[in-house]
Structure 1
Amino acid sequence: MYGLKLAGDDGEEAFGIEAADFVRDNFYVDDGLQSLETVNEAKLLIKNSTSLCAKAGLKLHKFVSNRREVLESVPECDRASSVKTIDLNNDPLPIERVLGMLWDVNDDVFRYHLQLKNQPRTRRGFLSIVSSIFDPMGFLSPVILEGKKILQELCKSKIDWDDPIPENVQPIQCMD
């Protein structure tokens, strides 16, 4: 991350503030994410940020976009493997993993695939289920909040960790 921030600082004058800000502020581990208004803005950002990073000895690659025109502007060798082999004119765009979530590139939506392990109907089991939902953007917060409210009720009722959850507190039938 230090290298990216330094590259952004060093390349801002030559490649523009948009590319520098993208490189400095929009990388999360090794995923660079940016949403732009137009195809031309996206193409320019890719060109400038790739050049900025190249000057610093870093290679940006594995590009994905929900706009086919943007993908066509990226050399095939720099595209994500899932879009290297598809026909950009006919094939649907893939589902990509981004920040641990699923991004349906074709529909430009995030999707969730929850595989809840069968847990005992106890406070400990319920906590395990609620805690296993990975949602870094907070899109599932309303659902997770309901689970946390149930956990709070179990705590207030002084239900022990391994005691069965009372029937009146079990509105969740999807635990099976």
Structure 2
Amino acid sequence: MSTEAIEDAIKLVKDTTEVCSSANLKLHKFVSNSQKLLNTIPISERVSEVQVLDLLKDKLPTERTLGLEWCSNSDTIMFKNSMTTKSFTKRRILSVISQLYDPLGLLAPFTLLGKNIMRKACQSSVEWDEEVPSDIKTEWMTWMESLSDLKKLKISR
């Protein structure tokens, strides 16, 4: 969550922890881009990468959450993927497209291109496990190569 003032964030963590505790739920694995807030949270309740840091000297880690990466130092959201494809079938195209998790819709212009390729593959007469026609294959390979550009994308939270 985001708050305007650090005092509000400290109160939010305290109140949320108490509410969860009253329901016998342990809220833990905290991470924040604020070292002041992290200092108010017991070390044992912080995410493991933060537990070993010297908050005055060390950089805060990048955390993965819901398929996204959050760089707490720069407070940016990033996308990282390592998808490759060796086959050029409708089934593999659908698999790759569905692996791009984008809950905020930030990649929509990019994913729509992939979905358009999938639409063309479905309109072709090939079966799910047959290789798609060469024009679709070329378009797919170009789109797959552009996946590496996603790691350059950084969006301020």
The TM-score bracket by the shorter chain reads 0.7 to 0.9
Question: 1:38 matched to which residue of 2?
Answer: 5
In 2, Cα distance between equivalents of 1:174 and 1:142: 12
Question: 1:56 matched to which residue of 2?
Answer: 23
In 1, Cα distance between equivalents of 2:98 and 2:23: 40
Q: Deviations over 1:33-67 (max 9, x none)?
A: x2222211111101111222223333222111111
Runs of 4+ in structure 1 deviating by more than 6 angstroms, as ranges, are none
Question: 1:126 matched to which residue of 2?
Answer: 93
Question: 2:153 matched to which residue of 1?
Answer: none
Question: 2:77 matched to which residue of 1?
Answer: 110
2:114/2:143 contact within 8 Å kept: no
1:72 aligns with 2:46: no
Read off the aligned partner of 1:60 and give its amino acid letter.
L
Question: 1:167 matched to which residue of 2?
Answer: 135
Read off the aligned partner of 2:135 and give its amino acid letter.
E
Q: Tell me by how many angstroms 1:114 deviates.
A: 1.1
Q: How many residues align?
A: 143
Read off the aligned partner of 2:127 and give its amino acid letter.
D
Structure 1 residues 150 and 89, CA gap change in structure 2 (3 angstroms): same
User: How many percent of aligned residue pairs carry the same amino acid?
Assistant: 36
In 2, Cα distance between equivalents of 1:144 and 1:59: 37
In 1, Cα distance between equivalents of 2:89 and 2:17: 52
Higher alpha-carbon deviation: 154-163 or 114-123: 154-163
Gaps of 5+ in 2: 146-157
Q: Deviations over 1:78-132 (max 9, x none)?
A: 2111111111112111011212332211121222221113231232322222122
Gaps of 5+ in 1: 1-33
Question: 2:148 matched to which residue of 1?
Answer: none
Read off the aligned partner of 1:166 and give its amino acid letter.
S
SS in structure 2 of the partner of residue 35 of structure 1: coil
1:86 to 49, 53, 56: 53
* CA RMSD, Structure 1 to Structure 2 (Å): 2.2
Read off the aligned partner of 1:173 and give its amino acid letter.
T
TM-score by length of 2: 0.78
Q: Which has the higher contact order (CA 8 A, sep 6+)?
A: 2
Question: 1:11 matched to which residue of 2?
Answer: none
